[in-house]
Chain A
């Protein structure tokens, strides 16, 4: 069976083209000679191609669904266009006769009205385009001018990072893009969100140095040297680049950015979101090396994870980032019990006698550990037990901040074996402790130890030897079970969530919300719900849920019963924005009336700011 696994791995590598030329030739020759291998190869190939088929079918199915949807949209579009055109013409004529002069529009009024007359004709075309190619809608965004000062970061000196605190005036939305200029009259809120969303902070970064920047709201980002490559050509980027970051920590910013906190419809609690983008001379860049991102916070919460976001027209979906473990960093020294898994810790504990870079140290540690057990374990004890087959002894222990072994727990088929293992572990030398961000930390370690006796394998019940302290046991949990977060960090006195990350775009520091007991389907009707955008803000935590528009109302899906929430509704009718804010407790309701007030953009923004205290 063992050889089978090896063969299968080889076959997979061969099929993926991962073998070198020489290796694959070698493999092909063997394939010619070895009948068994050939059979296995054919079987494996079929299996792999079979699973690929399943994947392809799934992709095609989704594509088909979208195709059917677009077809319908088109049909609806064709029906709607004449109606919309009539409406647009009618409204523009109406406006011409009695356009209300507003204070900041007096100068441009005449231009606006003229523009409108011509644009009303164009809008027919526009609407068609809008329906036809939903994807290109992105490029139709109303462009706004950005006046953001550029700041240069200084190269580092004498091996210490110079932290440049960048202070940029977050200039508010330019007023000239006001309501009258809106050419799209299909009541979509997308242009609105494009208008009010927060402007990025643009910073010029020198990629030749390790650089650390701190942004207005406290986000700290550290790049290693030469961290960027061009997105298309993968060429290394040198010199200065434009780095854009938008920080979303305040509720108002998130609401105005049309952001919400769900991951595949599961609610998240957020610790802040960022939108990061990097360009050089207009060319998009991507990361080659990880950058460190620190999210500041006031009240720390455990189990924070990094998510990356996919934004579409309606909502943003957050996807848990791969292998980006949270690390809560503390600026105080008296933190306790920070535990970092062996595979993740920045500097592994050092086994006396090991040298070299981190990876070498890691390998050396594992190798020396093995040797140590093989040398010191008294096999006679095992032989006296008259065991047969493979006997496994699993040992768990922690290497604490001082390099000492603690929390030893052993699972073995007999107490005698376990006790012998315990004796060996206690013989281990003192280690140099593991370091995370320069601080010594505790590292859990798991060591499986197999003793192979002649004879048949017997599955003996396992007994536990050692301390009774609660300790994560990876192997005892069924492999298929979902494990929420194996990396629990316990430092509550920290003041930033730190991650390293290899992707730009939407980034969110979040955790899944759990522990809701009773959920109900929350869906209600709203009068005149067309073009309505409703978000649910929780009073008890930093979480925003989006809603789906239904025929005549909105649908939030399943939400916790009796939770105190604030519903924030925005809609646009005839180019006037209406805001409705409703505090409520979640119960089963069928209809809800928002007290819509007409607001200007400025008023809307200040109303949103009032909500900031909720987070």
Chain B
């Protein structure tokens, strides 16, 4: 499958399919991480993170993929790995070119979101599913009510607020503990 087709999959919202195709590149990324002294599970984490970063950037309207997916993922993975190892990237930011700077910026952003993601794993499966359907799958409340078997749209909406504030509470709490 060509890069163009994968891109089309992303555009059509077939994320799973696109990711599945991109996984063909995994062995190469794995050997990259292994060569830099990582373990197999590190490689898996790095690749996952790189895919997230790729997706985030694809979502941005001003982003244009100038290289192949492989080249892009390779360079993202490199950054992700060095970031993971040193926690604080030592690479001087001014020596980076524009697209590399965008990558490091996204990596940095993602780290902030990770804390929020953590909160979602603590709010219970049903709440998580509801929020996923709304924010990630971008379904309407009518649809959500039917899937989650709420008796009305309104209840789904109410539940969403409840779940979100629950997550917010946990997030704030976690945030404070990490800050202090």
State the A residues within 8 Å of B (CB).
5, 8, 16, 43, 46-60, 62-64, 66-67, 320-324, 343, 474, 479-480, 482-484, 486
Contact = CB atoms under 8 A, between A and B. Distances in A.
Contact of B16 (A47, A51, A63, A322): A63
Contacts of A67: 20, 23-24, 26
A323 B164 contact: no
B115 A46 contact: yes
B146 interface: yes
B132 A54 contact: yes
Nearest to B155: A479
Contacts of B168: 43, 47
A51 B19 contact: no
Contact of B135 (A52, A320, A486): A52
A60 B128 contact: no
B143 A43 contact: no
Contact of A52 (B136, B150, B171): B136
B52 to A, nearest CB: 5
Contact of B159 (A47, A57, A479): A479
Contact of B19 (A50, A59, A483): A59
A483 B20 contact: no
9 contacts: A43-B168, A47-B168, A50-B118, A51-B131, A53-B52, A57-B48, A66-B20, A67-B26, A483-B149
B135 A46 contact: no
A67 B171 CA distance: 33
A54 B161 CA distance: 18
B169 to A, nearest CB: 11
Contact of B143 (A64, A322, A479, A486): A322
A43 B171 contact: yes
Contacts of A43: 168, 171-172
Given A16-B138, A64-B26, A323-B145, 10 more contacts: A8-B161, A43-B171, A49-B116, A50-B171, A51-B117, A56-B15, A56-B51, A58-B132, A59-B19, A474-B151
A51 B135 contact: yes
Interface string B12-43: 00011111101110100000000000000000
B106 to A, nearest CB: 11
B63 interface: no
B68 interface: no
Contacts of B115: 46, 50
A318 to B, nearest CB: 13
A54 B121 contact: yes
B120 A46 contact: no
Contact of B128 (A54, A56, A322): A54
Contacts of B173: none
Q: What are the 4 closest A-B residue pairs judged by CB atoms, nearest first?
A: A50-B116, A55-B136, A63-B19, A67-B23
A47 B116 contact: yes
A299 B150 CA distance: 28
B27 to A, nearest CB: 9
B113 A322 contact: no
Given A50-B119, A50-B120, A52-B135, A62 B146 contact: no
A58 B135 CA distance: 14
B150 A483 contact: yes
Contact of A46 (B132, B138, B171): B171
Interface string B142-156: 110111011111010
B5 to A, nearest CB: 12
Contacts of A51: 116-117, 120, 128, 131-132, 135-136, 167
A46 B116 contact: yes
Contacts of B136: 51-52, 54-56
A79 B129 CA distance: 41
Contacts of A63: 16-20, 22-23
Most chain B CB neighbours (cut-off 10 Å) among A8, A16, A59, A322: A59
B126 interface: yes
A55 B142 CA distance: 20
A322 B172 CA distance: 35
A445 to B, nearest CB: 13
B152 A474 contact: yes
B86 interface: no
A59 B161 contact: no
Given A67-B20, A322-B142, A479-B159, A47 B119 contact: yes
A59 B155 contact: no
Contacts of A16: 138
A486 B149 CA distance: 9
Given A50-B171, A322-B143, A323-B145, A5 B161 contact: yes
B162 A479 contact: yes
A70 to B, nearest CB: 8
A320 B146 contact: yes
B135 to A, nearest CB: 5
B146 A480 contact: no
Interface in B35-70: 44, 48, 51-52, 55
Nearest to B27: A71
B167 to A, nearest CB: 6
Nearest to A483: B151
Contacts of A59: 15-16, 19
B137 interface: yes
B135 A60 contact: no
B120 A60 contact: no
A63 B110 CA distance: 21
Contacts of A321: 146
A501 to B, nearest CB: 13
Contacts of B120: 50-51, 54
B112 interface: yes
Contact of B23 (A48, A64, A323, A482): A64
A480 B149 CA distance: 10
B178 interface: no
A521 to B, nearest CB: 24
A48 B114 CA distance: 11
B113 A46 contact: yes
Contacts of B159: 479-480
A483 B121 CA distance: 24
A311 B22 CA distance: 24
Contacts of A484: 149
